[in-house]
Amino acid sequence: MSQVPETRLPLAGIRVVEFVHMVMGPTCGLLLADLGAEVIKVEPVAEGDNTRRLMGSGAGYWLTYNRNKKSFAVDMKSPEGMAAVRKLLATADVMTENFRPGAMEKLGLGYQAVKAIKPDIIYSSMKGFLPGPYEKRTALDEVVQMMTGLAYMTGPVGRPLRAGASVNDVMGGMFSAVAVLAALLQRKDTGKGQFVQTGLFENSAFLVAQHMMQQVVTGAAAAPMPSRISAWAIYDVFETADKDQQVFLGVVSDSQWVAFCEAFDFTLFANDPALARNNQRVQARERIMPIVRERIQSMGKASVMALCEAAGLPFSPIQRPQDLFEDQHLNASGGLTELALGNGETTKVPMLPFEMDGQRFGARLPAPEVGSHSRELLSELGYEGAAIDELAASGLIRT
């Protein structure tokens, strides 16, 4: 699978200036950058974005969401630094930010102020909540998962559990990128920029909409996933004969039921008219599942998966995130892109999960060092070399 030459990338020629941190804002920039936009990350001059130094569960944020970007490290509290930022914004098509409510206004970079600098700019603001009673609250992915019932649906009764990845932050950034692209398209017709806003809480509400509608359709509230009534009789994780090795297997249609019975030699099930339809099997789940579990537990994991693949059944081994580095499909299909690390080594990271005209979008630039593009950008903005040196010597920029 080949990658698109930089000059032919969909967003080539679009300049994005981002004031972002953590996951939601950087994800928006990542999508735009991978698709070819020039994304310039404005960072504090001393140590750069705090996300660079996160440990524990946040240790992977920086490398994951900041490839293909440039770093402009500047002291925005100084008149000289802010003047440089304003000059940069005057060249931008898009500005993005995801700081707490009022932070950009306090800096003098709210939408109206930036619009005065660049009237047709697309200004994307990513917040915890869209305008309303909660808009001043501070939100995190975990907070909105608790507020919307996503954590309730994930954990067992009485033990709400957040999803194992930053699903709202990532999807919030994706929705912001969608809004930015729509605004850019609209600008072609109107010549006008606009303010677009994305809410983390609203994103999580969108994720649980299916459970809200389940209550509308059935008249009963959706149960948490560990105690849910499945829509299918066989849709679960099964032990195999190999120690500590499990397989997920789903049978989600009547035709798959026939294929499953043939593959695993369940002649008794196949010939039972009381199990011919999906809803009949759901009602008979307590009778079916012990027999199925016993059969699969007598087989090796590889054998189970081979039968499932041959029969066209949905299945999966139970993998860990680190297993994906060696995943056969991701590697063979070009789904991992090589990313340079600051120590000279390289690693692999998943690419955007789509292709366009057979092309994938990978890493062109590594995650930048603090201020690694400051000199280049200032020079482009008309600063002479001596002036740049003076700003650097005074600590107002980092190069």
Q: What pTM value is reported for the model? A: 0.93
Q: What is the CA radius of gyration of the chain?
A: 26
| Average pLDDT, rounded, for the chain | 95
The Cβ of residue 105 has, within 10 Å, a number of other Cβ atoms equal to 12
Quote the tokens at residue 170. 């990532």
Quote the tokens at residue 392. 């650097």
Q: Judging by DSSP bridges, how do beta strands 346-350 and 94-97 pair with one another?
A: unpaired
- Which pLDDT score, from 0 to 100, does residue 228 have? 79
Packed helices 200-207 and 209-218: angle between N→C axes, nearest 10 degrees: 40
Helix segments in 21-65, DSSP class H? 24-34, 61-65
Quote the tokens at residue 52. 């660079």
pLDDT digits (tens, 9 = 90+) for 13-68: 999 999 999 999 999 999 999 999 999 999 999 899 999 999 999 999 999 999 99
Residue type, 386: A
Spatial contact of 201 and 148, defined as CB atoms under 8 Å apart: yes
Mean pLDDT score, 363-392: 97
Spatial contact of 62 and 23, defined as CB atoms under 8 Å apart: no
Q: Is the predicted pLDDT of residue 103 greater than 50, yes or no?
A: yes
- Residue the block writes with tokens 């040196």: 389
Quote the tokens at residue 125. 């603001």
- Which pLDDT score, from 0 to 100, does residue 158 have? 92
Superfamily of domain 230-320: formyl-coa transferase, domain 3 (3.30.1540.10)
Concatenated DSSP letters for 325-348? GG-HHHHHTT-EEEEE-TTS-EEE
Q: Is the predicted pLDDT of residue 1 greater than 80, yes or no?
A: no
Spatial contact of 301 and 247, defined as CB atoms under 8 Å apart: yes
More confident residue, 256 or 1: 256
Q: Do domains 6-207+334-398 and 230-320 have the same CATH topology?
A: no
Q: Is the predicted pLDDT of residue 3 greater than 70, yes or no?
A: no
- Nearest 10 degrees: Cα torsion 315, 318, 323, 326: -30
Quote the tokens at residue 208. 């649980």
* DSSP reduced 3-state for 34: helix
Residue/partner pairs of 148-155 with CB below 8 Å, 24 or more apart: 148/201, 148/204, 148/205, 148/207, 148/208, 149/208, 149/211, 150/204, 150/207, 150/208, 152/224, 153/208, 153/211, 153/222, 153/224, 153/225, 154/224, 154/225, 155/224, 155/226
Concatenated DSSP letters for 298-310? TS-HHHHHHHHHH
Spatial contact of 26 and 65, defined as CB atoms under 8 Å apart: yes
The domain 6-207+334-398 is classified under which CATH number: 3.40.50.10540, 1.10.540.10, 3.30.420.40, 3.40.50.300?
3.40.50.10540
- Which pLDDT score, from 0 to 100, does residue 382 have? 97
Percent of the residues in the chain that have a pLDDT greater than 70, as a whole number:
98
For the chain, the domains span 6-207+334-398, 230-320
| pLDDT level of residue 4 (50, 70, 90 thresholds) | low
Spatial contact of 207 and 167, defined as CB atoms under 8 Å apart: yes
The Cβ of residue 163 has, within 10 Å, a number of other Cβ atoms equal to 17
Given strand 122-127, what is the order of strands in its sheet?
194-199, 122-127, 94-97, 15-19, 38-44, 69-74, 397-398
Quote the tokens at residue 194. 């606009």
pLDDT digits (tens, 9 = 90+) for 163-200: 999 999 999 999 999 999 999 999 999 999 999 999 99
Listed range (27-31, 144-148, 221-225) with the worst mean pLDDT: 221-225
